[in-house]
Structure 1
Amino acid sequence: MLVIEHQQNAGLGQLSDRLIEHGLNLETVGPDAGAPVPETLDGYDALIVLGGAMGPTEDEQAPWLPATRKLLRDGVEQGVPTLGICLGAQLLATATGGHVRTMPAGPEVGLLDVGFAASAAGDPLFGDLAGTSVPAVQWHWLEADSLPEGAQLLASSPACRNQAFRIGAAAWGVQFHPEALGGTAQDWVDEDRQSIDDLGLEEAVLVGDVRAAEPRLGAVWLPIADRFAELAQRSA
């Protein structure tokens, strides 16, 4: 499985060990991993593209983004199980004809609920969450405000309509962070305290809420890692 990591403090988090438990070999590439993004998905049974502080078209700041968008398009076209998280979801939408913008009402930051549509019931990855509202870590100032033609909307929140979506048979984008726990939230506060202060958020409350929710975050999102691993194994 290929994992594209844009920055070291935005890794696979709680999903990593769960995927490895399924016998998957995780090959992490990106600037901090010290390995370039490959040109093709040849030899990989799945693709995960993680989050990052840059925007999905800020190619001058992050020159590996064009190659990442190409791999996301390839994943959709080839039916390779693909998961884009936060920036990864924005890259997926951008690469396949959608559009990303700055959120007009401001960012989503912290522990917030995501509501899955009843119509998600048949989805291979998120079907078990159909019709439920579940907690997730949010940390984004941008959103995919329009999805490519044919995309299926799976989940929304009051501030962000396109929280989870599927493009094609096996490519998913999630604007939230199913991998993130309290340690990651602390890392992100440490990275950009000024933005947290500007939003009027208190570090202790913000991080404390995520830490307190860790058992629930594991109960909700680790089964998603199980299903994604199963899809990857079938693809192989």
Structure 2
Amino acid sequence: MIEHEAEAGLGFVGGWLEDAGVECQVVRPYKGEPVPASAPGGLVVLGGAASAWDDEGYGWLPATRALIARSVEDGVPTLGICLGAQLMTIACGGTVDRGAEGLEVGLTAVEPLPEAAADPLFSRLPRRVRAVQYHYDAATVLPPGAVRLVTGERYPNQAYRLGPNAWAVQFHPEATAAIFQTWADEGDLPRDLAAELSAEVAAAEGELEETWRPLGEAFAAVTLGWRDEQAVA
């Protein structure tokens, strides 16, 4: 698991994977830990304040994109969240730009597309759900072969699948109320708006965990199945 900054940690996802029996090794390149060349047991790439193309400011991004590209090519279970999703997009031939509609932040509605009904991770979502957002950049062109799964009013590419075992989500299923409050308080939002958005996320925390836990459990099941297959191969 690649963590880009201390303020954007595992959140709910860590607990969901642990409960399902998936042991996670967290790599923190911002602390000088090297990004591995491969992740044969599965890969999660978390969010962060970086732009996915800012290699000068965040020197580990090229290695992270290479890791994602190799994992997707090899069919390794891979989940990219926000910045992680944007890194996957670029690594696999898509395009990420500064979002034309500006900052998307707080609790927003997203809508599963018909393609989600047969997807291993998204098939259990109801018709319309809410998710935590905090991003300035957005995927504008998906990688070749990507299957778009979730859309939104402001930015249409909210989630997609690439190959059999790789998923990218623009929103933050891992974000607890405490994590979001840290982002809101330390970001460049007006103080009143930060407090309002944090209160909305806190009030919805139970709903958010109930909505997105099945996604985490499904990713864990895919990961464990992959590991079992590799063990007997």
What TM-score do the two structures reach when normalised by structure 2? 0.94
1:80 lines up with 2:80 in the alignment: no
Residue 231 of structure 1, aligned match among 212, 222, 233: 222
1:76-101: CA deviation from partner (whole Å, max 9, x where unpaired)? 11111100000000000000000001
1:135 lines up with 2:138 in the alignment: no
Q: Relative to structure 2, which stretch is displaced further, 157-166 or 21-30?
A: 21-30
Q: Relative to structure 2, which stretch is displaced further, 17-26 or 76-85?
A: 17-26
C-alpha distance in 1, partners of 2:132/2:207?
12
C-alpha distance in 1, partners of 2:37/2:75?
17
C-alpha distance in 2, partners of 1:187/1:96?
31
Partner SS for 1:71: helix
Q: Is the contact between residue 5 and residue 33 of structure 1 (CA under 8 Å) also seen in structure 2? A: no
1:121-168: CA deviation from partner (whole Å, max 9, x where unpaired)? 111111122x61111000000000010111100011111010000111
C-alpha distance in 2, partners of 1:109/1:26?
28
Amino acid at match of 1:55: S
C-alpha distance in 2, partners of 1:34/1:69?
17
Cα shift at 1:201: 5.8
Q: Please list, as runs of the form range in 1=range in 2, the aligned pairs for 1:1-236 lying within 5 A after superposition.
A: 3-32=1-30, 35-41=33-39, 44-129=40-125, 132-192=127-187, 195-197=188-190, 202-236=193-227
1:62-114: CA deviation from partner (whole Å, max 9, x where unpaired)? 11111110111111111111000000000000000000011112111000011
> Alignment length, in residue pairs?
227
Q: Is the contact between residue 121 and residue 214 of structure 2 (CA under 8 Å) also seen in structure 1? A: no
Cα shift at 1:12: 1.1
Q: Which of the pair is proportionally richer in strand?
A: 1
Taking only aligned residues, the RMSD between alpha carbons, in angstroms, comes to: 1.3
C-alpha distance in 2, partners of 1:204/1:60?
33
C-alpha distance in 2, partners of 1:234/1:150?
23
Partner SS for 1:6: coil
Identity between Structure 1 and Structure 2 (%): 45
Amino acid at match of 2:147: Q
C-alpha distance in 1, partners of 2:127/2:214?
15
C-alpha distance in 1, partners of 2:17/2:115?
27
C-alpha distance in 1, partners of 2:3/2:31?
7
Partner SS for 2:50: coil
C-alpha distance in 2, partners of 1:213/1:127?
22
- Which structure 2 residue ranges, 5 or more long, are not aligned? 228-233
